[in-house]
A and B are shown apart, each in its own frame.
Chain A
């Protein structure tokens, strides 16, 4: 595709439920990032995948958060036992790799936990 895509665009869930967010990076981009942006706040780094290297999980806020990526394609971010403070926009970005770290963002998934 032409750009990074994310699904769903909006997700409303009840507290305590699990949710799965999906990201399709730009074809050929080896690096993939997940960020969280709460309303009126800056971007908060969550996790970074680079090729077949072990992911950098240093930004995950708790063990309720996990992410996977199959090769250099789709990634899923899973939040277990959602809490109201998980409500935010979850942004995915991809970049061509380490030679140029210019990131291109998807439209985001707006998660609302009720």
Chain B
């Protein structure tokens, strides 16, 4: 099992809908997570971080972390065509450990 698993997609949603991006991980223990957005041909851009169980909201984005079930998700409300990108789920064990990147889910928001 990969350390961080994501469905590669593409996930297609209509404009204005809620996009739900999911990620599962192995290796129980204290984990923090980041969501990065990567537009085609561009470098990844940090959009959300979540360090504890529960939900964290920032504008149209909500990150959810469930350590018991070992999954993390990103919800994008009122999806816009400009949200079309690949979303990377990233695990951080904490301390001086390096990040582990998932392979990303491609999101397409259609008019």
Contact = CB atoms under 8 A, between A and B. Distances in A.
A43 B44 contact: yes
Nearest to A41: B103
A98 B95 contact: yes
Interface stretch (A11-19, A67-75, A78-86, A101-109): A101-109
Contacts, number: 44
A50 interface: yes
Interface in B64-111: 88, 92, 94-99, 101-104
Given A42-B104, A43-B88, A101-B92, A106 B43 contact: yes
Contact of B43 (A56, A98, A101, A107): A107
Interface residues of A, number: 21
Interface in A33-69: 33, 35, 41-43, 45, 48, 50, 53, 56
B43 A108 contact: yes
A77 interface: no
Interface of A: 33, 35, 41-43, 45, 48, 50, 53, 56, 91, 98, 100-108
Interface of B: 32, 34, 42-46, 49, 88, 92, 94-99, 101-104
